[in-house]
Amino acid sequence: MGEQRTLSLGFREFHPSNYERLVELYNANYPDYSISVGERRSRDESVDRTKYLLKRFECVNLEHDQIVGFGDLINAPDMYHPRKFMASILVDPEQQCRGIGRAIYNRLEEELAHRNAMLAWTMTKEDLPKRIEFFRRRGFREKSRNWESRLDLPSANTAPFQRYLDKALKDGITFTTLAEEQSHGEDSLRRIHELVQLIQADMPREADFTRLSYEDWETSSLKNPQLLPEGYFLAKDGSNYVGMSDVHRIDTEPGVLNQDDTGVIREYRGRGIATALKLKVIEFGKKNGYRTIKTWNESGNNPMLAINIKLGFKRRVGWTLMEKALRPESSA
């Protein structure tokens, strides 16, 4: 099929009144990962704009004053650098092959140059070869992959793994939830924050880990309306927090749980505690009528991949992170 007539395009700053159009285009591009307007808005509002950049442009078909795409630049808080940015492009699927993606990329490139950026990342699904090739032609190279896995809860059989919970309890490990610990006040929450930072520091990522302040963690995690405190499980040794696994609900998929981070601090690894935490989440999902748990793992995180496979998670299409070096960090 030949390329359609190139449009007359313009750009303007994103306006909050256009969240519905943003979400419409996102869901049209990624129907397996649909989000709600409320979820998209809450994610944006959790970003502290005094610390991190979140810049979004609307790409407009000037002939019809119609939004046909969006371009985003954002600092990644967990690997923050003032000159490193995550870039994303959304194009109306009905308007593709008309120069919109190219125009948005060129506009983002201007913004990156203005900010003297040294590195740009972008994410795309493994099964979107045209999108991958689009970024390859512009100098991006694959950096890592995150694999999605899903567990069908009605058919999941956890009985063979009960020994992990039994062993943890025998070793003096107890299990609680964020919902229970929140009632103990801010001191408990600050110690959970410290636990999360220790665990996340050891997780594979594309750049050096940056600790989140308690205030940023509180905003992005505790105040996230999708977070389920009663499904956020914590492992304790006495009064010390040693492991965690958290889940989020999905507005557009009420039968599905997103399992975010699962981890144990270094001194307690190799004792089956992470598997026990996963089992507690599965139990929570079954008890509350969920059908599916979704989770993601960096392809090099073999220990967690092994746990998921053991418990019956099935791998689905992954996401590729691509990287482009723009200029040396030492350049002016």
Confidence of residue 332 (pLDDT cuts 50, 70, 90): very low
Average pLDDT rounded to a whole number, residues 148-154:
96
The model's pLDDT over 168-211, given as tens digits with 9 standing for 90+, comes to: 999 999 999 999 999 999 999 999 999 999 999 998 888 999 99
Rounded mean pLDDT, 36-65: 96
Q: Considering only residues 332 and 317, tell me which one the structure prediction assigns the higher pLDDT.
A: 317
* Interatomic CA distance for residues 300 and 223, integer angstroms: 30
Strand 292-298 to 84-91 pairing: unpaired
293 backbone dihedrals φ, ψ, rounded to 5°: -115, 130
pLDDT value, residue 7 = 84
pLDDT digits over 20-47, tens only? 999 999 999 999 999 999 999 999 999 9
* Cβ-based neighbour number of residue 131 at 10 Å: 19
Q: Please, is 302 exposed, middle or buried when counting C-beta atoms within 10 Å of its C-beta (0-12, 13-18, 19+)?
A: exposed
Q: Per DSSP, which regions of the chain are E strands? A: 9-13, 54-61, 66-74, 84-91, 119-125, 141-152, 173-177, 233-237, 240-249, 256-264, 292-298, 314-315, 319-325
Q: Which stretches of 218-325 are DSSP H helices?
A: 273-287, 302-311
Question: φ, ψ for residue 68 (rounded to 5)?
Answer: -115, 0
Residues 131 and 100 sit within 8 Å (Cβ to Cβ): no
pLDDT, residue 303, reads 84
